[in-house]
Amino acid sequence: MSEAVSERPQVDRLRDEPAPLAPSRSTRTPLGWWRNPWRRPHILATATWLYLAWSLLPVLIAIGISFNSGRSNSVWQGFSFQWWWGHPKSDPTGSLFVSPELHAALIQSLRLSFLTMFIAVPIGVAFAIGISRWRGPAPAGANFLMLFSFVIPEIIIGISMFLFFTYLLKFVHLGTGAQLLSLVTYQVSYPVIIVRARMLSIGREYEEAATDLGASPTQAVRRVLLPLLYPAILVSFVLVFADTIDDFITVRYLSGGASTEPLSVKIYNFSRGILTPAINAAATFLLFSTLVIAVLGVFLYRRITRGQRGQTQEMTGYLS
């Protein structure tokens, strides 16, 4: 792996040199420039930067609008914090931290995300460990089920959960409980996939060494396997949190009333009606909370994997 990385600069240097293979055609004319086999990929580079601008600029503008001083959510009218915690003239109780509705939704968002994270990740990690070591046909079936819950469109989980809690499991009332159960069901496959990849890359040798040296199976898992899995578990925590706090598809059908709707559902409802910069502030808040968790994750990840090679590569590998 490291060889391939050190090779690349040389290839780039080769490309920078004036083309010795096509000396007859001048590279200055447009046609010659086009035909030069070693020209730098300007078109692709432009396309990539344009894409990045297109994908991120609108969001930056939306974040900016949350600090708007006027009521408009499409035109900049000056800077203020009033839609975050002030009392705007047009809507005195409309700002994110003042409006009782948005404030309650914010708490509900955080509560659901943290609970989901702390339920789904342990279940998923244990499942991944069990399924990688357990032999026979049964784990393949369980894994199939897990992958199925991963690929199925979210709206299907949302609707089937709603029907489930309305017609069969009637003692679970729509609200936080139902939301939590379905969020965990949808999220539990992320840690499984991430941890399983890590399990396969570390192999069984370390555990075998531990048991050969006299560790019991439980000690081998707790003292050897789990520390090796910490990076993957950390990434799972961050991804599950980021995905849950933004989730509105499953949760919307299971809210059962305005009081248990999290911020994401509120944003969806408001986006179709009257928009104020407070909604931008709400969306920005979700983004900031995700970023805080992600930065925390990266920080812990660095601490845990200190001295190991190929960290960033592994981290991006989890996402793709």
Partner 1 sequence: MRGLPRRRPRDEASGAWYPRWYWPGFAFPGTLWLLVLFVLPFYVVVSIAFGTVDPVFQSPLPVFEPWWWTKRYLLEEWHFATGEFRPVEVRTIVYVVLATAICLVIAYAVAYYVARFGGKRKGLFLALLIAPFFISYLMRMLSWVELLQPNGYVNGVLTFLHITPHPVNWLAGVPFTVVLGLVYGYIPYMILPLYGFLDRIDQSQVEAGRDLGGNRFRTFVRVTLPLSKPGILASLVIVTLPMFGDYYTNNLLSGSPKTTMFGNLLDNSMEATGQGPQAAILVLFLVLFLMIPMLYYMRETAKAQRNQ
Contacts of 294-301 with CB under 8 Å at 24 or more apart are 294/238, 294/242, 296/238, 297/234, 297/235, 297/237, 297/238, 300/234, 301/231, 301/234, 301/235
> Which member of 69, 80, 149, 311 binds partner 1 (CB under 8 A)?
149
Q: What is the smallest separation between the CB atom of 51 and partner 1, expressed in angstroms?
A: 5
Residue of 3, 7, 16, 17 that binds partner 1 (CB under 8 A): 7
Query: Smallest gap, in angstroms, from Cβ of residue 79 to partner 1?
Result: 17
Of the residues 3, 18, 30, 55, which one makes contact with partner 1 according to CB under 8 A: 55
Judged by CB under 8 A, the chain residues 171 through 210 that form the site for partner 1 are: 181-182, 184-185, 188, 192-193, 196-197, 200-205, 208, 210
Closer residue to partner 1, CB minimum distance, 96 or 184: 184
> Cβ of residue 55: shortest distance to partner 1, in angstroms?
6
Provide the minimum distance between the beta carbon of 124 and partner 1 in the complex, in angstroms, as a whole number.
6
Judged by CB under 8 A, the residue of 31, 56, 226, 274 near partner 1 is 56
Window 269-298: residues binding partner 1 (CB under 8 A):
271-272, 275, 279-280, 283-284, 286-287, 290-291, 294
| Interface residue with partner 1, options 106, 131, 240, 278 (CB under 8 A) | 131
Q: What whole-number distance in Å separates Cα of residue 103 and Cα of residue 95?
A: 9
Q: Do the Cβ atoms of 260 and 108 come closer than 8 Å?
A: yes
Q: In this structure, how many other beta carbons lie within 10 angstroms of the beta carbon of residue 92?
A: 12
User: By C-alpha distance, which of 256, 87, 265 is closest to 161?
Assistant: 256
Q: Output 98 or 245, the one with its CB closest to partner 1.
A: 245
The count of residues interacting with partner 1 (CB under 8 A) is 113
Interface with partner 1 in residues 81-110 (CB under 8 A): none
Shorter beta-carbon distance to partner 1: residue 107 or 209: 209
Judged by CB under 8 A, does residue 155 bind partner 1? yes
Q: Is 117 in the site for partner 1 (CB under 8 A)?
A: no
Pick the binder of partner 1 from 164, 173, 174, 296 (CB under 8 A): 164
Lay out the site mask for partner 1 across 211-250 (x = CB under 8 A, - = otherwise). Answer: xx--xxx--x---------------------x--xx-xx-
